[in-house]
Structure 1
Amino acid sequence: MISIEGLRKTFTTKDKEITAVDGITLDIEEGEIFGVIGYSGAGKSTFVRLINRLEEPTSGKITIRDKEITALNANELRLARQEIGMIFQHFNLLWSRTVEENIAFPLEIAGVPKRERMERVQELIDLVGLNGREKSYPSQLSGGQKQRVGIARALANNPKVLLCDEATSALDPETTNSILDLLVDINKKLGLTIILITHEMHVIRKICQRVAVMEHGKIVEQGDVLEVFTNPKQPVTRKFVAQVMGTDKEDEDIHYLLSSIKEGKLLRLHFIGEATQESVISDVIRKYPIDINILQGKITQTQGGGYGTLFVQAKGEEAEIEKAVAYIREETSAEVEVVANDKRVISKHNI
């Protein structure tokens, strides 16, 4: 669907050159929600603006549905942009126009007749849940409502691609979730390919199928969201994952848990994908004469499945605990670690 090859953008200032996007090569599948995450200054917003040539690439090639965007002249690009919608962090609405007039604006530019235009506007108002606010001005809307207007406007010309540049960064958590749910709904109903730029990992977790991590203008890691969550390779990726999973506090948690148990073993279980649905604890209790005390746990859902960590205290004869650990390793899809009193993992089995 979208093929990006060797994409590069260099800005020239008075005394030096700054490379904002540095040789990105990437393929995005039709109909997927693809996330691009990075800290401020990573180059992600420049990258997304290069896709529809709001910024001109210094070099590289962008192809969308067999159309080479980087080779189009001005008139061809204007027509191609009708198939590429875009929403922004700060909405970019026309403040002197009502909701319906903002949504109708790209249709006016495209020369769509008024009757057809208004029918399309009403369809979009229904789609994004703005019924009753048609005559309102942006100053009369909440942040979430403004972004819904921005989404409807971006969809006016029936685009095949929707670019979202920090679309939820100016919103509170509850409103962010409602906008993300709307994007998922639009993706399913319309089959849109969505490229979502963000610095918030919970946004990636909630709606994206795949993710690319940017740092210093480069993509340093990419893959399915669940794989990136469970096996982050780069330091910057591990920081983002820690935002959601709380793994940055895990050493502190282990220290507290070890100090709180007076007998038995501390086990840490990891569950990935379908393993989160397995009745591992109840199976172990039925099979072995040991007691299991659940101390702490968390499961995080992604579009590709769940990922969870569970800390338990296993009490009983040491030989029976060892049998139970061996059973989890050999007969279930879970990963189990036995945590020693010096806070080092002394036994680990990987899926």
Structure 2
Amino acid sequence: MIELKGLTKVFDTGKARLTAVDHVDLTVPAGEIFGIIGYSGAGKSTLIRLLNGLEKPSEGSVEINGQNITAISGPKLRKARQKVSMIFQHFNLLWSRTVRENIEFPLEIAGVGKEERRKRSAELIELVGLEGRESAYPAQLSGGQKQRVGIARALANDPEVLLCDEATSALDPQTTDAILDLLVDINKRLGLTIVLITHEMHVIRKICHRVAVMEGGRVVELGEVLHVFQHPKENITKRFVAQVTETEDSAETVRHLREQYPEGQLVKLIFVGDQAEQPILTQLIREYKVEVNIVHGNISHTQRGAYGTLILQLKGTADEISKALAFLGAHDVQTEVMGNA
């Protein structure tokens, strides 16, 4: 388990004092995939450096599995860091070493014998799907393959926590999804706690159980990913959620839909979890005298369930439309009337 208590980091530039992390309190249970999202300058990179002991906090503490890493130094800190590994945006591989040699490097530093290093690297090469590429050099690998090497190297010392610093930002969308699927698989197989920082809500949506939204060094919103998608409170969170749910309710989109569908009423529906898999619209059409036309929508899948949005054109009498909306509300489907079409 990771526990942050009043964690603060202030940088003194000589001319001014910059508070990069401002009294952050967080608890990450063992085995969770926890996301930290924020735009550039939010403080997330400093926070992750505090987690692995590369920065000392100005105030507060970092505890990992009961050990306060902010209170130790020297050999004890180096030993503690072996249980907190990290993968990076730009891979940070040794270009003069092969895939196998890159993976074995932390074991070599730790004094592990050659035979044991070779056995461990072979296991990790299989785990990350790099069989047949053991003798390749980084320059001969694709971006996704390089990140797989980075992940295997990070796992070499059998860590308890894996930190991911914008680990997919340099990859194309398809490769990003493959790396995220690999991280989910590793989390399930090894029970590894994963903390990742990103500015991409797609990454949070796809693999994280919970998310913290950072702005100005503070955690401004925190919760299960599915709940944050359903009820974003802060404006910054709404902007991030819009990255993957699209901007169905933007003024321009609504105006365009009204022009395209000039009759009836436009209604936005939000489905969460099991609702997204249920034939609720089929029941509505069967039971109420309304004509239903789906004009826009999408479903996003999270680790805790699905989140879907639909925009419907409803045609019928005001009374029947009112009954239909009441039916949806009774089935815990959020509705928002977007005005007459």
Please tell me the TM-score bracket, short chain as reference: over 0.9
In structure 1, the partner of 2:244 is 244
What amino acid does structure 1 have at the position aligned with 2:260? S
In structure 2, the partner of 1:81 is 81
In structure 2, the partner of 1:22 is 22
2:315 matched to 1:336? no
Cα deviation 1:71-99 (Å, max 9, x = unaligned) = 11211011111111111111111111111
Equivalent position SS for 1:232: coil
Inter-partner Cα distance in structure 2 for 1:252 and 1:22 = 37
Shift in CA distance, 232/125, structure 1 to aligned 2, threshold 3 Å? same
Cα deviation 1:111-148 (Å, max 9, x = unaligned) = 11111110000000000011111111111111111111
Equivalent position SS for 1:19: strand
Taking the TM superposition and a 5 Å limit, the aligned residue runs for 1:87-236 are 87-236=87-236
In structure 2, the partner of 1:58 is 58
Cα deviation 1:295-320 (Å, max 9, x = unaligned) = 11111111111111111122233332
Cα deviation 1:219-266 (Å, max 9, x = unaligned) = 111110111111111111111111111127632222222223343322
In structure 2, the partner of 1:346 is none
Deviates more, 1:188-197 or 1:264-273: 264-273
Deviation, 1:337, is 2.9
In structure 1, the partner of 2:33 is 33
Inter-partner Cα distance in structure 1 for 2:57 and 2:224 = 27
In structure 1, the partner of 2:47 is 47
Deviates more, 1:120-129 or 1:310-319: 310-319
Equivalent position SS for 1:340: strand
What amino acid does structure 1 have at the position aligned with 2:83? E
Tell me the matched-pair count: 341
Inter-partner Cα distance in structure 2 for 1:186 and 1:247 = 33
In structure 2, the partner of 1:306 is 306
Shift in CA distance, 271/248, structure 1 to aligned 2, threshold 3 Å? closer
2:35–2:195 contact (8 Å) kept in structure 1? yes
Inter-partner Cα distance in structure 2 for 1:176 and 1:83 = 25
Task: Output the TM-score relative to the length of structure 1.
Answer: 0.94
Inter-partner Cα distance in structure 2 for 1:273 and 1:211 = 17
Inter-partner Cα distance in structure 1 for 2:165 and 2:262 = 51
Equivalent position SS for 2:80: helix
Cα deviation 1:150-197 (Å, max 9, x = unaligned) = 100000010010000111111111111111111000000000000001
Equivalent position SS for 2:238: helix
Equivalent position SS for 1:220: strand
What amino acid does structure 2 have at the position aligned with 1:51? L
Deviation, 1:60, is 1.3
Inter-partner Cα distance in structure 2 for 1:16 and 1:316 = 64
Inter-partner Cα distance in structure 2 for 1:110 and 1:311 = 57
What amino acid does structure 2 have at the position aligned with 1:340? G
Deviates more, 1:271-280 or 1:199-208: 271-280
In structure 2, the partner of 1:348 is none
Alignment RMSD, CA only?
Answer: 1.4
Equivalent position SS for 2:268: strand
What amino acid does structure 2 have at the position aligned with 1:336? T
Equivalent position SS for 2:307: strand
Inter-partner Cα distance in structure 2 for 1:318 and 1:13 = 64
The sequence identity of aligned pairs, in percent, is 59
Deviation, 1:106, is 0.7
Deviates more, 1:220-229 or 1:320-329: 320-329
Shift in CA distance, 11/337, structure 1 to aligned 2, threshold 3 Å? closer
What amino acid does structure 2 have at the position aligned with 1:159? P
Inter-partner Cα distance in structure 2 for 1:240 and 1:302 = 15
Shift in CA distance, 277/248, structure 1 to aligned 2, threshold 3 Å? closer
Shift in CA distance, 318/19, structure 1 to aligned 2, threshold 3 Å? closer
Deviates more, 1:290-299 or 1:142-151: 290-299
2:248–2:254 contact (8 Å) kept in structure 1? no
2:144–2:175 contact (8 Å) kept in structure 1? yes
Deviation, 1:322, is 2.4
Deviation, 1:329, is 2.1
